[in-house]
Chain A
Amino acid sequence: MTIEVSHVTKQYSLGRRASYQTLRDTLASFWKRERSDSAESFLALDDVSFQVKPGEAVALVGNNGSGKSTMLKIISRITYPSKGFVRITGRVASLLEVGTGFHPELTGRENTFLSGSVLGMSYQEIKAKFDEIVAFAEIEAFIDTPVKYYSSGMYVRLAFSVAAHLEPEILIVDEVLAVGDLRFQKKCLDKMKSAASSGKTVLFVSHNIAALRSLCVRGILLNRGKMEMDGPIESVASHYLQQYCATSSAQTWEPGEGPGNAACRFLKVRLHDREGHDLKIGNLSEEVSIELTYEVLQEGTQVAFAFQLYTDESVCAFSSLSNREPYFHGKALAKGTYVTRCSVPGHTLNNGHFFATVQAFGIHWEELFSIERVIAFEMHDDGILKGDFHGSYSGLFRPNLVWQTEQLQCP
């Protein structure tokens, strides 16, 4: 067995996580009977067991907070289980972040060596692969420039390129596929695919279900720290999409039961058309609105919202913030029920499936809570822009743009 996860439980105590202790607190707690351990705790992982065979490519699937990142951290020896054990045979490389070990003051060349070493490559190995890494990243001309002057695209390309040239027996990858422009993403995916098919053991975490489907043969679904499903990727992926990704364009909660906190709680999120009717399928040329209904439970609550629209492939189409709201943004709200709407004008999105994730923020844009993939809807091509063209349009958007032609010279 290459990876054996046996009854792994990880407990976090909420008090300690929220703020670090000062010496004074600890000294004070010597006098008190109860220790801070008795504070509220939650289980990030609850008795999870699975095994991965050599050469297997496995996807870990689940919503945020399902414990998949904690699992990767335990397998990578970054944090330790509270109970149970993980047994690993072989050389492990973990990519939990793009650009681990990068230092902005150092040049691309220096960072390649530093990051390579941090990820577990030897000096000789990095030296041997250096040209290949730089070529893959397509930054030959800037290799001796400090990375702080890099564009974010260049930075990510170099960082990923270093990681992609690791040759471990077990590769652990968290969400790093979602980097760079689409073309580079494809290149990364291909590199990952060749790793998976060349007999390496691979453990992937991603929100990109389509990518996981093409990379992995097996899926493991986690939900709130518990193992929910373990099987072929196709059935796990479709179960996940059905179960955890909204299929409905409206979500309603009983008062007090919706997502939220002590100050503000959701009652309803829905999609509607210009007349306010519930909408499941929108027309490309017509306005669609996202409507948030929520209760303010504490006098003087200040809250702001944002939403992101994602495609089926988990590509974010765009996001929008409620600070465009002219009357209520930043105001202290009285108790009561409120409705906040955002209208997306016609001729914005391309046709296809979309998911909306809604977030609530505090006054300094600190995230209070988020509801992932709360509603789903479809944009239908009503043909208004098609004219005599009957093929499909590529891209995320379908704006109504102006085209003009002039004749400059007559024969």
Chain B
Amino acid sequence: MEPHTVEIRSDKVIGTGYWTELWKYRELLGFLAWRDLTVKYKQTALGVLWILLQPLLTMAIFSFIFGKIGTFATGDIPYPLFALAGLVPWSYFSMIISYSSNSLITDSNLIKKVYCPRIIIPLASVTAGIVDVGIVLGAFLCIRLLYGYGWHWEMLFGLLSLVWLVLATAGISFWLSALNVRYRDVRHTIPFLIQIGLFVSPIVYPLSLIQSSYQFLYACNPLVGVIETFRWAMFTPEYSIEQSLVPIAISFVSTALIFIGGVRFFHKMERGFVDSL
């Protein structure tokens, strides 16, 4: 291999590209994701069951409260299934955001002693969660079958919406984890943010409930597009998408901005991490 020269300067590193470097460290990303996954469920009595417990119990509670006491117009779709379709992306998002936003602090020992592109540390939590969302998705598909819904090709869009979900979660976690190194205030806002997120995403209620005058602002939440696309993919033709195309588009643009902005912001902040940890 050609000897490679790197020049470390105060404002930049010359001789290596950001993305080629990231690609070089893909194996480490895999190892860190695998570590996060292994460690999370070691020494727990229920192990992997925990992944399923959270969304399923939430579904049961929501079904009781909103399905029995107050009712939302979910069309022909049974309410528990409707809620669970929202909870599949949501359980991933809420769990991973709280892990990854603190990931740079948890791994500060690594950051202080070894070089790697810092972004792979929050990215590892996001990647590890893909296994979780896969398991939850499997459970959802089983329940969906029990309710008598068959297979159809539009369900592939459900997978695409989950890719969207992962990118949105990654984008937000880049912002939060980088901010958290400098401002530990972030740590205190995460539980609050997650609580709010549950209400400003169409999880327990359908998107049609939101008045059109608020819809633009509402749709800036990346999860709106993710959940709406996922629901449509799972329940078409009972669940139509025509009236939600605009919010989905807004949500998509918002995700792209958050993600690209997140990568750039993280990159700008990362050289100061060691001196702030």
Partners in one complex: yes
Which residue numbers of A lie inside 8 Å of B, CB to CB? 12, 16-17, 20-24, 26, 73-91, 94, 96-97, 100-101, 103, 105-106, 110, 113-114, 117-119, 122-123, 146, 169
Instruction: For residue A194, give the distance in angstroms from its CB to the closest CB of chain B.
Output: 22
A103 touches B10 (CB 8 A): no
Residue of B nearest to A79 (CB): B274
Residue of B nearest to A88 (CB): B6
Task: Digitize B1-33: 1 where CB-to-A-CB distance is under 8 Å, 0 elsewhere.
Answer: 001111111100100000000000001100110
A to B CB contacts below 8 Å, 28 in the list: A16-B275, A16-B276, A20-B184, A21-B183, A22-B184, A23-B185, A24-B185, A26-B183, A77-B6, A77-B115, A78-B115, A80-B9, A80-B10, A85-B9, A87-B6, A88-B6, A88-B8, A89-B4, A89-B5, A90-B3, A90-B4, A94-B114, A100-B109, A103-B39, A106-B39, A114-B31, A117-B28, A122-B27
A97 touches B10 (CB 8 A): no
Task: Report B-chain residues with C-beta under 8 Å of the C-beta of A81.
Answer: 8-10
Task: Digitize B253-269: 1 where CB-to-A-CB distance is under 8 Å, 0 elsewhere.
Answer: 00000000000000000
A85 touches B7 (CB 8 A): yes
Task: Report A-chain residues with C-beta under 8 Å of the C-beta of B110.
Answer: 100-101, 118
Give bound CA distance, A94 to B42, whole Å. Answer: 30
A86 touches B7 (CB 8 A): yes
Instruction: For residue B35, give the distance in angstroms from its CB to the closest CB of chain A.
Output: 6
Give bound CA distance, A101 to B109, whole Å. Answer: 8
Instruction: For residue B29, give the distance in angstroms from its CB to the closest CB of chain A.
Output: 10
Give bound CA distance, A212 to B222, whole Å. Answer: 57
B194 interface contact, C-beta 8 A: no
Task: Report B-chain residues with C-beta under 8 Å of the C-beta of A96.
Answer: 113-114
Residue of A nearest to B43 (CB): A105
Task: Report B-chain residues with C-beta under 8 Å of the C-beta of A113.
Answer: 31
Name the interface residues of B94-115: CB closer than 8 Å to any CB of A. Answer: 109-115
Task: Report A-chain residues with C-beta under 8 Å of the C-beta of B115.
Answer: 76-78, 94
B8 touches A80 (CB 8 A): yes
Most buried by A among B3, B7, B113: B113
B8 touches A74 (CB 8 A): yes
Give bound CA distance, A119 to B114, whole Å. Answer: 7
Name the 9 nearest CB pairs between A and B, nearest first. Answer: A77-B115, A117-B31, A23-B185, A89-B5, A23-B183, A86-B8, A85-B9, A79-B274, A97-B113
B5 touches A88 (CB 8 A): yes
B35 touches A114 (CB 8 A): yes
Give bound CA distance, A1 to B116, whole Å. Answer: 24
B185 touches A22 (CB 8 A): yes
Task: Report A-chain residues with C-beta under 8 Å of the C-beta of B208.
Answer: none
Give bound CA distance, A97 to B110, whole Å. Answer: 10
A82 touches B114 (CB 8 A): no
Give bound CA distance, A96 to B109, whole Å. Answer: 11
A82 touches B10 (CB 8 A): yes
Supposing A78-B113, A117-B31, A122-B27 touch, asked if A21 and B7 sit within 8 A by C-beta, the answer is: no
Task: Report B-chain residues with C-beta under 8 Å of the C-beta of A22.
Answer: 183-185
Residue of A nearest to B36 (CB): A103
Give bound CA distance, A96 to B274, whole Å. Answer: 14
Residue of A nearest to B40 (CB): A105
Residue of B nearest to A110 (CB): B38
Give bound CA distance, A208 to B56, whole Å. Answer: 59
B274 touches A118 (CB 8 A): no
Give bound CA distance, A85 to B27, whole Å. Answer: 29
Residue of B nearest to A122 (CB): B27
Residue of B nearest to A121 (CB): B27
B271 touches A80 (CB 8 A): yes
Give bound CA distance, A26 to B39, whole Å. Answer: 36
Task: Report A-chain residues with C-beta under 8 Å of the C-beta of B182.
Answer: 20-21
Task: Report A-chain residues with C-beta under 8 Å of the C-beta of B3.
Answer: 89-90, 169
Residue of B nearest to A146 (CB): B42
Task: Report A-chain residues with C-beta under 8 Å of the C-beta of B39.
Answer: 103, 105-106
Give bound CA distance, A82 to B27, whole Å. Answer: 31
Give bound CA distance, A22 to B276, whole Å. Answer: 12
Give bound CA distance, A87 to B14, whole Å. Answer: 9
A103 touches B35 (CB 8 A): yes
Give bound CA distance, A409 to B84, whole Å. Answer: 85
B185 touches A79 (CB 8 A): no
Task: Report A-chain residues with C-beta under 8 Å of the C-beta of B13.
Answer: 77
Residue of B nearest to A5 (CB): B8
Name the interface residues of B130-160: CB closer than 8 Å to any CB of A. Answer: none
Contacts beyond the supplied A78-B111, A80-B10, A88-B7: 10 A-B pairs with Cβ under 8 Å: A75-B8, A77-B8, A78-B274, A81-B9, A89-B4, A94-B114, A100-B110, A105-B38, A117-B28, A122-B27
Task: Report B-chain residues with C-beta under 8 Å of the C-beta of A84.
Answer: 9-10
Give bound CA distance, A76 to B31, whole Å. Answer: 21
B42 touches A105 (CB 8 A): yes
Supposing A106-B39, A122-B27 touch, asked if A12 and B275 sit within 8 A by C-beta, the answer is: yes
Residue of A nearest to B275 (CB): A79
Instruction: For residue B56, give the distance in angstroms from its CB to the closest CB of chain A.
Output: 26
B276 touches A100 (CB 8 A): no
Residue of B nearest to A93 (CB): B114
Supposing A77-B8, A87-B7 touch, asked if A100 and B113 sit within 8 A by C-beta, the answer is: yes
